[in-house]
């Protein structure tokens, strides 16, 4: 059951986390209530939300068969990669920073998702070679093996994480190619658009705000879409980091965004605030793209994509509400975290 805007607004008006929990009684999130009553632990509730997403994807896959079921499992790898990155961050904290991670690992999902990954073996790896050994029979082994652990001391594992993101997206494309023509065309268009939005966000956040070097920036790009490899993309990368123009980058693909950014330049706005506005704009654009599928031919895989999209957005709002009520954020800040 999806929560409508009226219900979400009522949840936003909750005066406390306890009041929020009381309002979840007759919703799909009622399972959070006993967790709150027993522990009051926000991270435990976030873990429950993640588990809910995993089980939802698996349930939908069981209703389908053949290539459609395989596609849903390929989509589920996004959750698997998120969990893998979380485990690797803890492994890095333990191995390179010598921090105690025992209690934090307890919050992470430790059952199977799609691949056979022994999460306990991974978190307890004494060196990176043991990490690679744990991942060798998964789609992530090859990507992980291309990294030199000596670089982790200075660079952290951010670039490893982005390589894993590209890995699951590449795997997803392989399963799209197996779909019937109508579904294949729809999925290709949707994921090309997702690819463009994600690449622009990365180019802005890491290329414009954090000004990382060109080759590092290029390595973050997802394959596909119209932005990666375009004339505007190459010109953006060719500039010195301080001279990169976001307006020029997005003018052709997102002219309305470019116009809005050009207007903002006439005033004064911090780079971080501009980046947040761009991400919000692209997030709303993605929502419109997904919702437009509801008006099309109903008997396609697109309906499943929209369902997953809406569930993900709703879970994100519930997570933001829980944290917001716990830390005392105002409604605008909570909505900002739910982008």
Spatial contact of 317 and 338, defined as CB atoms under 8 Å apart: yes
The pLDDT of 268-274, averaged and rounded, is 75
Number of alpha helices (DSSP H) and beta strands (DSSP E) in the chain: 19, 0
Q: How far is CA 145 from CA 125, 219, 230, 247, in A?
A: 15, 16, 30, 37
pLDDT at 300: 83
Report pLDDT digits (tens) over 11-53: 999 999 999 999 999 999 999 999 999 999 999 999 999 999 9
Share of the chain above pLDDT 70, in %: 98
Residue 269 clears pLDDT 80, i.e. is over it: no
Give 49-108 pLDDT, tens digit per residue: 999 999 999 999 999 999 999 999 999 999 999 999 999 999 999 999 999 999 999 999
| Mean pLDDT across 254-269 | 80
What tokens does 98 get?
């010598």
What b-and-e string marks burial along 271-285, b requiring 16 or more CB atoms within 10 Å of the CB? eeebbeebbebbeeb
- Side-chain-side CA neighbours of residue 222 (13 Å): 26
- Going by pLDDT thresholds of 50, 70 and 90, the confidence category of residue 285 is very high
Which residue has tokens 């790009």?
A: 221
Q: pLDDT-derived band of residue 225, with 50, 70 and 90 as boundaries?
A: very high
**Of 257, 316, 249, 311, which is closest to residue 282 (Cα–Cα)?**
257
Question: How many Å apart are CA 7 and CA 93, to the nearest integer?
Answer: 40
- Are the CB atoms for 172 and 75 separated by under 8 Å? yes
Whether pLDDT at 331 is above 90: no
Please give the span between the terminal C-alpha atoms of the chain, in angstroms, as a whole number: 21
Please tell me the chain's helix, strand, coil percentages from 3-state DSSP, rounded to the nearest 5. Answer: 70, 0, 30
- How far apart are alpha carbons 123 and 139 in whole angstroms? 18
How much is the pLDDT for 274?
Answer: 84
Please tell me the distance from the alpha carbon of residue 178 to that of residue 170, in angstroms, as a whole number. 14
Q: Are 258 and 251 in contact (CB under 8 A)?
A: yes
Could you tell me if 286 and 193 are in contact, meaning their C-beta atoms sit under 8 angstroms apart? yes
On the question of pLDDT at 156 being above 60, the answer is: yes
Residue 8 to residue 319: CA distance in whole angstroms: 12
The CA distance from 144 to 216, in Å, is 16
Rounded mean pLDDT of 221-250?
Answer: 94
Share of the chain above pLDDT 90, in %: 86
Output the CA torsion sign for 216, 222, 227, 230. positive
d(CA 57, CA 168): 15
Res 276: pLDDT: 86
Taking residues 322-326, report their average pLDDT. 96
- For residue 267, what pLDDT is reported? 57
Residue 266 is predicted with a pLDDT of: 55
Mean predicted lDDT score pLDDT of the chain: 93
pLDDT of residue 262: 86
Residue 268's pLDDT is: 59
Tell me the average pLDDT across 219-226: 94
Segment 110-128 shows an average pLDDT of 97
């Amino acid at each position: 059951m999806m929560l409508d805007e009226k219900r979400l607004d009522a949840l936003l008006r909750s005066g406390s986390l306890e009041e929020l929990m009381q309002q979840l009684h007759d919703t799909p999130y009622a399972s959070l209530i006993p967790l709150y009553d027993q522990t009051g632990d926000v991270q435990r509730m976030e873990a429950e939300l993640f588990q809910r997403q995993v089980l939802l994807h698996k349930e939908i896959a069981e209703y389908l068969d053949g290539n459609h079921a395989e596609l849903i499992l390929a989509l589920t790898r996004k959750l698997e990669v998120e969990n893998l990155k979380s485990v690797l961050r803890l492994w890095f904290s333990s191995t390179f920073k010598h921090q105690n991670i025992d209690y934090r690992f307890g919050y992470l999902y430790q059952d199977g998702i799609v691949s056979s990954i022994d999460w306990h073996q991974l978190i307890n790896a004494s060196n990176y070679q043991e990490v690679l050994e744990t991942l060798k029979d998964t789609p992530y082994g090859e990507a992980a093996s291309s990294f030199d652990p000596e670089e982790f001391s200075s660079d952290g594992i951010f670039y490893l994480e982005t390589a894993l993101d590209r890995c699951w997206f590449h795997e997803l494309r392989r399963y799209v190619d197996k779909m019937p023509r109508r579904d294949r065309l729809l999925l290709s268009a949707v994921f090309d658009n997702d690819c463009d939005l994600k690449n622009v966000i990365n180019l802005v956040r890491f290329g414009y705000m954090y000004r990382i070097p060109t080759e590092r920036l290029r390595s973050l790009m997802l394959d596909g879409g119209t932005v990666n490899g375009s004339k505007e993309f190459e010109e953006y990368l060719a500039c010195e980091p301080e001279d990169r123009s976001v307006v020029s980058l997005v003018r052709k693909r997102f002219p309305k965004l470019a116009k809005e950014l050009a207007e903002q330049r006439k005033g004064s706005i911090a780079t971080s605030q501009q980046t947040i506005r761009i991400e919000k704009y692209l997030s709303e654009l993605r929502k419109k793209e997904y919702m437009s599928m509801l008006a099309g031919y109903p008997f396609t895989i697109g309906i499943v994509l929209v369902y997953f999209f809406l569930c993900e957005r709703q879970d994100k709002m519930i997570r933001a509400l829980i944290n917001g009520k716990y830390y005392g954020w105002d409604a605008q800040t909570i909505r900002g975290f739910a982008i």
